[in-house]
């Protein structure tokens, strides 16, 4: 029996025919990267291939790496295996990796969502024989509302905080979520400030030609009192820090798909939880998988056990793979929101 086109080993998703890895978590010679989040783009590979819109963020996060980039639907050959990127809609520059060899097509999704967030290139289903999919939110309890609804709630909350002289904080992962929050804010309410990590990320994206709304970086010189009525976007790791406590009358909200469950929200002791996710919800996952018209689905991370069982009961050939994706968020509570939400 010939070996499968893509297989899972202790380093990542391996293509033997092309001798390359997709999103490897241990150092390899040749890595194809779906997107720049840290559980997919690790440091230490000899050579990287990623989407062109990931370029500057990868340099910012990983330093001087050997990087080659492709645009969406542009094809390259690696040892005779055809490799191309298709939009995954997860964050700016996120891609599904299409791999074709001797007429067989596999697609590795990385992380994805179906809703057009207005920033990342919208998800495109790619026909394939085997679809390697994430299922972070692969339970029927996860159903997202349109992002505009969430933005409206967010702005309304900011407005009432501003009226009471509070400083509003919204926590969301620095790459992806932070830009979505920034985009959704009604800038007529007040001034927007960015945590340094987010400001750096935005600058990297701007070097990549992405245009983002204007916001002020929080520097040590900033008079904190002047931020009253304003809104600060920060990464979840900054919540509760001395950095945050130096601002006056703080009210803070978390932005994550996990916020759809009351217990998770309470645990974070946030004043508000906004259910805004960069991952597909239950319906989204099913729609995406059906659209690939695939014969097999392989689930890499998230609710893999329940979701694969459900898919099998629906007649799919679905199975779980053991990967390190989404694992980093288990390291501590903070990073849960950093990666997944």
Partner 1 sequence: MKDFAKLFADLDETNKTNEKIRILKAYFMYVPDADKINTLALFTGRKPKRQINSTLVKTWAMELSKIPVWLFEESYQVVGDLGETIALLLPEPEGSQDKSLTEWIAEINNLASLKEEERKLWLVSSWAVMDRQERFVFNKILTGSFRVGVSQSLIVKALADISGLDASVLTHRIMGNWDPLHFSFHDLMQEQDASDDISRPYPFCLAYPIQETSTQVKSAEEMELALGNPEAWQAEWKWDGIRAQAIYRDKEIFIWSRGEDLVTDKFPELHRFMMDLPDGTVLDGEAICFSGECPLPFNVLQTRIGRKNLTKKILTESPMAFIAYDCLEYQGDDIRSMPLKYRRSILEKLHAESPHQDIFRLSAIVGFSNWKDLYALRLQSRENVAEGFMLKRIESVYQTGRKRGDWWKWKVDPLSVDAVMIYAQKGHGRRADLYSDYTFAVWDGDKLVPFAKAYSGLTDKEMSQVDQYVKRNTLEKFGPVRTVKPGLVFEIGFEGINQSSRHKSGVSLRFPRILRWRHDKKIEDADHIEVLRALLG
Give the footprint of partner 1 on this chain (CB under 8 A).
Answer: 139-141, 143, 260-267, 269, 271-273, 306, 309-310, 313, 330-333
DSSP state of 260: G
Dump the DSSP string for 279-328. Answer: S--HHHHHHHHHHTT-SEEEEEEESHHHHHHHHHHTT-EEEE----TTTG
Q: What is the dihedral of CA 149, 152, 158, 163, to 10 degrees?
A: -140
Nearest distance from C-beta of residue 338 to partner 1, angstroms:
14
What are the angstrom distances between the C-alpha of 112 and each of 72, 86, 281? 15, 11, 10
Per DSSP, helices labelled H in 188-261 are 196-207, 242-245
Nearest distance from C-beta of residue 311 to partner 1, angstroms:
11
Contact between residue 178 and residue 201 where contact means Cβ atoms under 8 Å apart: yes
Q: Which is nearer to partner 1, 26 or 149 (CB)?
A: 149
CA-wise closest residue to 113 among 307, 315, 320, 341: 341
Q: Which is nearer to partner 1, 76 or 333 (CB)?
A: 333
Nearest distance from C-beta of residue 132 to partner 1, angstroms:
22
Q: Which is nearer to partner 1, 143 or 245 (CB)?
A: 143
Q: Which is nearer to partner 1, 221 or 313 (CB)?
A: 313
Nearest distance from C-beta of residue 267 to partner 1, angstroms:
5
Which string of b and e fits 118-127 if b means at least 16 CB within 10 Å?
Answer: ebbbebebbe
Nearest distance from C-beta of residue 173 to partner 1, angstroms:
18
Token pair listed for 210: 């992405």
Per DSSP, helices labelled H in the chain are 55-62, 147-163, 177-184, 196-207, 242-245, 262-267, 282-291, 304-313, 333-339
Q: Which is nearer to partner 1, 246 or 309 (CB)?
A: 309
Nearest distance from C-beta of residue 196 to partner 1, angstroms:
25
Per DSSP, helices labelled H in 99-207 are 147-163, 177-184, 196-207
Nearest distance from C-beta of residue 329 to partner 1, angstroms:
10
Nearest distance from C-beta of residue 195 to partner 1, angstroms:
22
Report the distance separating Cα 316 and Cα 288, nearest Å: 13
Q: Which is nearer to partner 1, 139 or 210 (CB)?
A: 139
Q: Which is nearer to partner 1, 26 or 266 (CB)?
A: 266
Report the distance separating Cα 217 and Cα 192, nearest Å: 9
Report the distance separating Cα 95 and Cα 120, nearest Å: 10
Q: Which is nearer to partner 1, 94 or 136 (CB)?
A: 136
């Amino acid at each position: 029996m010939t070996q499968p086109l893509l297989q899972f080993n202790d380093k990542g998703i391996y293509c033997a025919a092309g001798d390359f890895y997709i999103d490897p978590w241990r150092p390899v010679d040749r890595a194809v990267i779906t997107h720049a989040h840290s559980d997919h783009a690790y440091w230490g590979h000899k050579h990287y291939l990623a989407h062109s819109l990931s370029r500057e963020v990868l340099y910012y996060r990983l330093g001087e790496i050997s990087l080659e980039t492709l645009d969406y639907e542009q094809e390259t050959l690696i040892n005779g295996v055809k490799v191309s990127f298709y939009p995954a809609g997860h964050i700016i520059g996120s891609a599904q990796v299409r791999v074709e060899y001797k007429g067989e097509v596999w697609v590795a999704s990385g992380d994805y969502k179906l809703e057009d967030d207005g920033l990342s290139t919208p998800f495109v289903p790619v026909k394939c024989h085997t679809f390697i999919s994430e299922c972070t939110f692969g339970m029927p309890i996860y159903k997202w509302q349109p992002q505009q609804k969430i933005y409206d709630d967010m702005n309304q909350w900011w407005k009432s905080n501003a009226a009471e002289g509070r400083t509003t904080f919204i926590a969301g992962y620095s790459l992806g979520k932070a830009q979505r929050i920034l985009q959704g804010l009604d800038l007529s309410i007040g001034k927007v400030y960015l945590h340094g990590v987010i400001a750096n990320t935005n600058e990297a994206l701007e070097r990549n030609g992405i245009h983002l709304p204007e916001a002020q970086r929080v520097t040590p010189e900033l008079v904190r009192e002047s931020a009253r009525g304003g809104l600060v976007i920060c990464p979840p790791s900054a919540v509760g820090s001395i950095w945050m406590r130096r601002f006056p009358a703080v009210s803070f909200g978390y932005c994550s798909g996990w916020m759809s469950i009351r217990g998770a929200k309470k645990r974070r002791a946030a004043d508000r939880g906004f259910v805004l996710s960069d991952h597909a919800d239950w319906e989204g996952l099913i729609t995406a998988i059906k659209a690939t018209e695939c014969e097999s689905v392989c689930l890499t991370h998230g609710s893999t056990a329940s979701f694969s069982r459900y898919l099998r009961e629906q007649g799919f050939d679905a199975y779980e793979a053991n990967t390190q994706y989404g694992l980093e968020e288990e390291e501590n509570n903070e990073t849960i929101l950093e990666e997944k939400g």
